[in-house]
């Protein structure tokens, strides 16, 4: 009986000490933002997409983890207006691209975080888009209650091949780059 009580007390103390040094900071989804840029032979398009939720995990004041859910139904083109904006937004939401009716969320889960400089971390993560999970690496800078990261995403790793010269011949000036950029601003 004494052994059980001592074991329970030790587990309680360990959990309390571990929790005291670990802290999860949930992002403010309204104040945080994701800006995207997609490239094609004849130019580029820009837009935004919203977070559904997410958090960064800190231990002893250092970033150690994170997980985020992106609401893919909020894909929005910001460099076009009117009919052309509507067409591009609809096409990006279609099965040719992100298939948001079937896959409304994308998820980013940190696997490994290494501090490379003061408040700058190299993150190895898994990104899931359209049900396809692929590893991705990027740097994130954390200052007070904000963080910034720039990601380069290869859409073909997630089954998005529409307009890709890597998969289709003869596209000429209709080709769309495989990679697109994400500029992420976090507030927590």
Q: How far apart are CA 120 and CA 123, in angstroms?
A: 10
Three-class DSSP category at 86: helix
**Protein fold of 23-187:** Lipocalin (2.40.128)
Which single residue is written with the structure tokens 């720039």?
Answer: 150
Q: What is the mean pLDDT of each run of 10 residues along the chain (188 residues)?
A: 52 49 95 98 97 98 98 98 98 98 98 98 98 98 97 98 96 96 98
Q: How far apart are CA 76 and CA 108, in angstroms?
A: 20
Full-model pTM? 0.87
What's the start-to-end Cα distance of the chain, in Å? Answer: 45
Q: How far apart are CA 13 and CA 99, in angstroms?
A: 47
Query: Which residues have C-beta within 8 Å of that of residue 152, sequence separation ≥ 6?
Result: 138, 179, 180, 181, 182
Q: Which among 160, 162, 177, 181 has a CA at the least distance from the CA of 98?
A: 160
pLDDT confidence of residue 76: 98
Angstrom distances, CA of residue 162 to CA of 14, 101, 110, 127, 186: 52, 17, 28, 19, 30
Three-class DSSP category at 159: coil
Q: How far apart are CA 104 and CA 166, in angstroms?
A: 26
Q: Which residues of 25-54 are buried (b: 16+ CB within 10 A; e: fewer)?
A: bebebeebebebebeeeeeebebebbbbeb
Hey, where are the domains in the chain?
A: 23-187
pLDDT confidence of residue 16: 46
One-letter-per-residue 3-state SS of 34-75: EEEEEEECCEEEEEEEEEEEEEEEEECCEEEEEEEEEEEEEE
């Amino acid at each position: 009986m004494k052994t059980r009580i001592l074991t329970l007390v030790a587990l309680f103390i360990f959990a309390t000490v571990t929790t005291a040094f670990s802290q999860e900071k949930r992002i403010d989804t309204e104040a945080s933002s994701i800006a995207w840029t997609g490239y094609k032979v004849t130019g580029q398009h820009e837009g935004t997409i919203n977070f559904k939720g997410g958090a960064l995990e800190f231990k002893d004041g250092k970033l150690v983890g994170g997980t985020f859910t992106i609401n893919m139904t909020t894909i929005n083109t910001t460099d076009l207006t009117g009919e052309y904006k509507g067409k591009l937004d609809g096409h990006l939401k279609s099965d040719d691209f992100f298939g948001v009716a079937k896959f409304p969320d994308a998820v980013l889960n940190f696997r490994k975080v290494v501090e490379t400089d003061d408040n700058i971390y190299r993150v190895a993560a898994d990104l899931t888009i359209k049900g396809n999970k692929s590893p991705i690496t990027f740097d994130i800078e954390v200052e007070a209650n904000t963080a910034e990261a720039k990601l380069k995403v290869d859409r073909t790793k997630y089954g998005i091949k529409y307009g890709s010269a890597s998969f289709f011949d003869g596209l000429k000036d209709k080709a769309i780059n495989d990679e697109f950029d994400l500029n992420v601003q976090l507030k927590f």
